[in-house]
Amino acid sequence: MKSLFLLVMALTTITAHAITVDEVTFDDKVNVAGKELVINGVGIRKATFLKIKVYYGALYLTQKSTNAGTFLGTSDPKQIVMHFVRDVDLKDLKKTYGEAFEDGNKETYKPLLPTLDAFISNIRDVKKGERMTITFLPDGAQLDLAGKVSPKIGDAAFSKALLNMYFVNPQDAGLTKGLLGN
């Protein structure tokens, strides 16, 4: 009986370390490249003039920050997890990524476009309920779409440029505000 009680307490403790927003749950910590990252904030990506919810996104950092400038310049690993609440086709994802990549990197994006194309080649139509995770590493970025992990692509400059999409001239300021924990 004592071991059953300890098991129930352990499971309760594990689930107590998750963050739930509108019935979408994110772990409060993840391990990336041997480092523990903590959830910084959760935001909602909305699209079109109708502000339709597309996904809930969670940002993970080595330490919490409400200022993107604090972590954008570091080589620490970072991660964004997106939980899609609607289907999104590849055509729309490509368009959005292209525009956001350019907006977030006005002066430096052109030489990185072939690397962005290689990264996007690992994306497919995303279905409601699926998760897409981008891990930003000091030597490139890695995509995990619904459990299928793609090879790491790019270098430090590409990884930073890809992360900039969310924080430098973002397409959805509400998402950015949520990711920053504001």
Domain boundaries of the chain, sorted by first residue: 19-179
CA 65 to chain centre: 15
Quick check: 52 pLDDT over 50?
yes
Quick check: 113 pLDDT over 50?
yes
Tokens for 166?
């969310």
Fold of 19-179: Chalcone isomerase (3.50.70)
Return the number of other C-beta atoms located less than 10 Å from residue 85's C-beta.
18
Q: What is the largest CA-CA distance in the chain?
A: 64
51: left (phi over 0), alpha (psi -120 to 50) or beta: left
pLDDT at 168: 96
Structural Rg of the chain based on CA atoms: 17
Integer Cα distance of 159 and 182 in angstroms: 24
Lowest-pLDDT range of 5-14, 66-75, 113-122, 154-163: 5-14
How many C-alpha atoms does 29 have within 13 Å on its Cβ side?
Answer: 10
Integer Cα distance of 42 and 104 in angstroms: 20
pTM for this predicted structure = 0.89
Quick check: 116 pLDDT over 80?
yes
Is residue 78 helix, strand or coil? strand
**What is each CA distance from 108 to 19, 42, 104, 135, in whole angstroms?**
36, 28, 9, 21
DSSP state of 88: B
Q: Name the nearest CA neighbour of 133 among 146, 117, 122.
A: 146
